[in-house]
Amino acid sequence: MSFNKQELTQTTTFADQKRKTVEIAEFTEDGRYKRKIRSFVLRTGRLSEFQKNAMNQHWHFYGLEHQIQPFNFQTIYGNDNPVILEIGFGMGHSLVEMAHQNPHFNYLGIEVHTPGVGACIANAVEKEVKNLRVICHDATEILRDCIPDNSLTGLQLFFPDPWHKAKHHKRRIVQTPFVAKISQKLVQGGFIHMATDWENYAEHMLDILRQANELENTSITNDYIPRPESRPLTKFEQRGHRLGHGVWDLYFTKK
């Protein structure tokens, strides 16, 4: 979607429009809308003026759009530094913190929740972080259409929606085809780092990751790893600690 300021009315801005375009509509052969199994719910939470302004003013630098051809990371970041992709960054606190702490890596964040995208951009602007780009679109479509094969140094998935009820487990983003797609996008030696505070989801992640022959578990106990210092503690996780929740980190690499 192109952003033409003149076309925007005072009430409907680019940021407001963005909320409606997080996936590509697909149709059956007879023209009916194809319902997809989504790993997210599009919450109608308010986009604050602050978040809206951050998106409207800084999208030209931080924002990338879904496209039907692979991204050229060299052109996007202006360098050849390794690229780390984070899916579902929420409000983006840990993503911006990591980008700030690791200037020799390029970070790419995907999130469908527009207020989170706005908050992340605002935080990046405040910290003058330049090695970060964000996408407001379904991550499965971005992986399928925009990420070149063998191009990512790492994939981060922190506290994905756990979809607690068994009848909703099919909505969990971590599934065999998802992990196969990620592996295809990783360079040799690239990593997949997942974390969750829901034990049943941790077990599910471990099952799926173990089945991928192209991946190797770095855990010395062959299951989880201790929480790495490199993963900034988010408010979400701090709250979990206060409530006595456990956290499980999984770290696999591509052989």
Ligand X SMILES: C[S@@+](CC[C@H](N)C(=O)[O-])C[C@H]1O[C@@H](n2cnc3c(N)ncnc32)[C@H](O)[C@@H]1O
Annotated binding residues: 86, 111, 138, 161, 165, 197, 234-237
154 binds ligand X (CB under 6 A): no
Distance between CA atoms of 57 and 51, rounded to whole angstroms?
Answer: 10
Distance between CA atoms of 181 and 66, rounded to whole angstroms?
Answer: 17
248-254 β-sheet, strand order: 63-64, 132-135, 106-110, 83-87, 152-158, 186-196, 248-254, 215-217
Binding residues for S-adenosyl-L-methionine, as ranges, are: 86, 111, 138, 161
Closer of 129 and 174 to ligand X (Cβ):
174
118 binds ligand X (CB under 6 A): no
59 binds ligand X (CB under 6 A): no
**Among 18, 113, 172, 231, which residue sits at the site for ligand X (rule: CB under 6 A)?**
113
**Among 173, 186, 206, 208, which residue sits at the site for ligand X (rule: CB under 6 A)?**
173
Closer of 7 and 244 to ligand X (Cβ):
244
107 binds ligand X (CB under 6 A): no
Distance between CA atoms of 121 and 234, rounded to whole angstroms?
Answer: 17
196 binds ligand X (CB under 6 A): no
Cβ 143 vs Cβ 173: under 8 Å: no
Closer of 239 and 255 to ligand X (Cβ):
239
Q: What does the block give as tokens for 208?
A: 């799926």
51 binds ligand X (CB under 6 A): no
Listed in sequence order, the residues at least 6 apart from 199 whose beta carbon sits closer than 8 Å to its beta carbon are 246, 248
CA distances from 212 to 142, 151, 178, 193, 255 (A): 21, 19, 11, 14, 11
Nearest distance in Å: CB 196, ligand X: 9
139 binds ligand X (CB under 6 A): yes
* Active-site choice (16, 80, 145, 161): 161
Distance between CA atoms of 203 and 171, rounded to whole angstroms?
Answer: 16
Active site residue 16: no
Nearest distance in Å: CB 7, ligand X: 27
Can you tell me whether residue 124 is helix, strand or coil?
A: helix
- Taking residues 67 to 106 in sequence order and writing x for each that binds ligand X by CB under 6 A, - otherwise, the string is --------------------xxxx----------------
Distance between CA atoms of 119 and 52, rounded to whole angstroms?
Answer: 9
Residues that contact ligand X, how many (by CB under 6 A) = 21
- As a 3-state breakdown, the chain gives helix, strand, coil percent values, each rounded to 5, of 35, 20, 45
197 binds ligand X (CB under 6 A): no
Cβ 14 vs Cβ 71: under 8 Å: no
108 binds ligand X (CB under 6 A): no
Residue ranges in contact with ligand X by CB under 6 A: 39-40, 87-90, 110-113, 116, 138-140, 158-161, 173, 234, 236
Positions marked catalytic: 161
